Amino acid sequence: MEYSAQAQLIITYLKNLQTTICNGLEMVDGSTKFRHDDWQRPAGGGGQTRVLADGAVFEKGGVNFSAINGEIPPFLQKEIQEHFPQMPASTHFLATGISIVIHPQSPLVPIIHMNIRYFETNNGAYWFGGGIDLTPHYVMHDDANYFHNQLKNVCDKLSAETYNNYKNWADDYFYIKHRNETRGIGGIFFDKLWANETHTIHNIMEFWQNIGNTFLPTYTQLVNKNKTKNYTAEQKRFQLLRRGRYVEFNLVYDRGTKFGLETDGRIESILMSLPKHVSWEYDANSTLGTEELATLALLKKGVNWLGN
């Protein structure tokens, strides 16, 4: 498939962003470097997985770029026709994006996830999607407030409703139904975004790139603020339990993970999101302290993190 000029620009942007973010995270960590693995997808396209492990600050993290293409599978064909009923049917697709999950060593530093993605077909259908959410092991009000205000600043440039709409979407998406808990304090999530009466393609691409660009300064700020704080064995234990929830979300609900597992994606790249050390205890909630219970009480949909 011939990629559009737009797609080629986007791929260049994503590759540069991957390098920028990896360089930035290496500086924050100070003790370890990302390993690079190039891979090809037999059915078309490929990617570069970058992972780091056992750093001073980061226990495990991945910053994955991929640009895969091929014939449109039936379930995608259905989605495309639903959203672009006026277009002639396409036969081939390109899906490109960056996916990031970072698990820090310290329970006082939050886990972060970002994914920005672009999709197009050979007949001109396209859309943008993305999401970024923060999973503090311990919810700290100032950090949550800062994180959500950073996202709101990006969203407000697109429109006044964007933050609320995409924040609510994230609350619904990053939700662990069987635990009746959100994964963390949410963030924003969106999909199937394309030019319309309200937004030009230029507006949308700028918004989408602004999300990508805000990742590194926002996370760096949160990491540097908390990475040297001392923590207790009880806080470490709680971190391992919270990571268990992260695994539950990713293996049971996450669409990207499920899509990857079902379509024979590169398994090590898909599951790089799983933390190195994780723990499950029976009925752990009944043994938690007040600080831990205070965090659990905040893992709900609909919390307004913007106010002081």
Considering the rule CB under 8 A, would residue 248 count as an interface residue with a copy of itself?
Answer: yes
Q: Which residues contact 31 (CB under 8 A, 6 or more apart)?
A: 55, 56, 57
Sheet holding 35-40, edge to edge: 35-40, 45-53, 58-71, 92-104, 111-121, 126-135, 187-193
Interface segment toward a copy of itself; rule CB under 8 A; list 18-26, 114-122, 155-163, 275-283:
275-283
Report the run of H or E that residue 95 belongs to, with start and end.
Answer: strand 92-104
The reply to whether 252 sits near a copy of itself by the rule CB under 8 A is yes
Cβ-Cβ contacts under 8 Å for 279 (sequence gap 6 or more): 237, 240, 241, 243, 244
Determine if 296 is a binding residue for a copy of itself (CB under 8 A). Answer: no
- Do residues 113 and 97 lie in contact, with contact meaning Cβ atoms separated by under 8 Å? no
DSSP of 111-171? EEEEEEEEEEETTS-EEEEEEEEEE-SS--HHHHHHHHHHHHHHHHTT-TTHHHHHHHHHH
Contact positions with a copy of itself (CB under 8 A) in 163-202: 177-179
CB closer to a copy of itself out of 39 and 146:
39
**Candidate residues 274, 288, 298, 306; the one interacting with a copy of itself per rule CB under 8 A:** 274
The count of residues interacting with a copy of itself (CB under 8 A) is: 31
How many other CB atoms are found less than 10 A from the CB of residue 308?
A: 5
- DSSP one-letter code for 69: E
Tell me if 288 contacts a copy of itself by CB under 8 A.
no
Q: Binding of a copy of itself at residue 38 (CB under 8 A)?
A: no
User: What is the footprint of a copy of itself within residues 47-86 (CB under 8 A)?
Assistant: 51, 53, 60, 62
- Comparison of 133 and 248: residue with beta carbon closer to a copy of itself: 248
- Closest distance to a copy of itself from the beta carbon of 36 (Å): 12
What are the angstrom distances between the C-alpha of 163 and each of 107, 118, 204, 303?
28, 20, 14, 13
From 103, 113, 137, 148, the catalytic residue: 113
Regarding 251 and contact with a copy of itself (CB under 8 A), the answer is: yes
Give least dist CB 249 to a copy of itself, A: 10
| Distance from C-alpha of 46 to C-alpha of 67, rounded to nearest angstrom | 6
From candidates 3, 279, 296, 306, binder to a copy of itself by CB under 8 A? 279
Q: Is 1 among the residues that bind a copy of itself (CB under 8 A)? A: no
* CB contact at 8 A, 258 and 250: no
Catalytic annotation present for 113: yes
CB nearer a copy of itself, residue 156 or residue 268: 268
Q: Which residues in this chain contact a copy of itself in the complex, by CB under 8 A?
A: 35, 37, 51, 53, 60, 62, 177-179, 240, 244, 247-248, 251-252, 261, 264, 267-268, 271-272, 274-283
As annotated, the active-site residues are 113
